[in-house]
C-alpha cells in the first residue's frame, strides 16, 4: 500500500491573514509531502509494508517511526485549521471550563506550553484515560498515541511552520495560529472519542463517559 498526501482542506491562501500561501506551499507541499515519501520508501521490505500510519506509529522505531508520526501529526495540524470562523461545541466548551477554568485560561496554558517547548515539536490537547483533558507537549516527531492518550487538537511548533511569516517570533505565530483553530474539527474529535476510546453500546448519542 502506498500512502498518499492528504488533500489540503482549504485553498493555499485561505489562512493568508495569519499564515501565508508561501508557508503553506512549503509546509504542506514540501515538508508534509516529504514525510509521506519517506514513509513509502522506508517501509519497503519491512513488516510495515501494508500497515496504516497509526499501526506504523504503534510498532516501528527510528526513521520509519519518525516519518510516520510526522505524517499523522501534519494531517492533524492541517485539518485543525480553518480560514472561516468556527466555535467549540457545547460539550467541548464544558470540558474545557471543567478542566482549565475558562477558555482564556485554557488558551494561556496551551500557548505557554507551546512557547516553552525547547527546540522542535508539537503541543497536543488530549483526553486522558481518566477522561480529563490534558495539554501534552511532545518533542520532534512524537505524538501521544503510544501513551494511551486520545488527541483532539495540535499545534506545530517546528520553525518551518512559522519562519517565513514570523521569523524567530514563535509567540506571535502562536497568537495568530489560535485564531485559525478549526473548532469544528476539535469538537468532532471529542464527539468521536466518546465511542472510539470508550466504547458504548448505545449509539443514540445519550451515552456519557463513566463518572469518576
Binding region for Mn ion (CB under 5 A)? 156, 158, 161
Asked whether 117 and 124 are in contact (CB, 8 A), the reply is: no
Instruction: Tell me which residue has its CB nearest to Mn ion.
Output: 156
**What's the min distance (Å) between Cβ of 195 and Mn ion?**
29
Least Å from the CB of residue 31 to Mn ion: 5
CB contact at 8 A, 18 and 162:
no
Residue among 65 and 158 whose Cβ is closer to Mn ion: 158
Shortest distance (Å) from residue 33 CB to Mn ion: 12
Burial state string for 72-90 with b = 16 or more CB within 10 A and e = fewer than 16: bbbbbbbbbbbbeeeebbe
Minimum CB distance to Mn ion, residue 154 (Å) = 10
Between 152 and 161, whose beta carbon lies closer to Mn ion? 161
- Say how many C-beta atoms besides its own lie within 10 A of residue 134's C-beta: 14
Burial class, 175, CB count within 10 angstroms (exposed 0-12 / middle 13-18 / buried 19+): middle
81 vs 161, beta carbon nearer Mn ion: 161
Contact (Cβ atoms closer than 8 angstroms) between residue 183 and residue 153:
no
Of 142 and 156, nearer to Mn ion (C-beta) is 156
Amino acid at each position: 500500500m502506498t500512502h498518499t498526501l492528504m488533500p489540503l482542506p482549504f485553498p493555499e491562501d485561505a489562512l493568508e491573514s495569519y499564515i501565508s500561501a508561501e508557508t503553506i506551499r512549503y509546509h504542506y507541499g514540501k515538508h508534509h509531502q516529504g514525510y509521506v515519501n519517506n514513509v513509502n520508501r522506508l517501509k519497503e521490505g519491512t513488516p510495515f509494508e501494508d500497515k496504516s500510519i497509526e499501526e506504523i506509529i504503534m510498532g516501528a522505531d527510528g526513521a520509519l517511526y519518525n516519518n510516520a508520526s510526522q505524517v499523522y501529526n501534519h494531517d492533524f495540524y492541517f485539518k485543525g485549521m480553518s480560514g472561516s470562523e468556527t466555535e467549540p461545541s457545547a460539550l467541548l466548551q464544558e470540558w474545557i471550563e471543567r478542566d482549565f477554568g475558562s477558555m482564556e485560561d485554557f488558551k494561556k496554558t496551551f500557548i505557554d506550553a507551546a512557547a516553552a517547548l525547547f527546540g522542535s515539536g508539537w503541543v497536543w490537547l488530549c483526553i486522558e484515560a481518566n477522561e480529563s483533558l490534558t495539554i501534552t507537549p511532545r518533542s520532534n516527531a512524537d505524538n501521544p498515541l503510544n501513551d494511551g492518550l486520545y488527541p483532539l487538537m495540535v499545534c506545530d511548533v517546528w520553525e518551518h511552520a512559522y519562519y517565513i511569516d514570523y521569523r524567530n517570533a514563535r509567540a506571535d505565530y502562536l497568537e495568530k495560529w489560535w485564531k485559525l483553530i478549526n473548532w469544528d474539527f476539535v469538537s468532532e474529535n471529542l464527539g468521536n472519542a466518546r465511542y472510539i476510546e470508550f466504547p458504548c453500546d448505545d449509539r443514540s448519542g445519550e451515552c456519557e463517559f463513566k463518572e469518576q
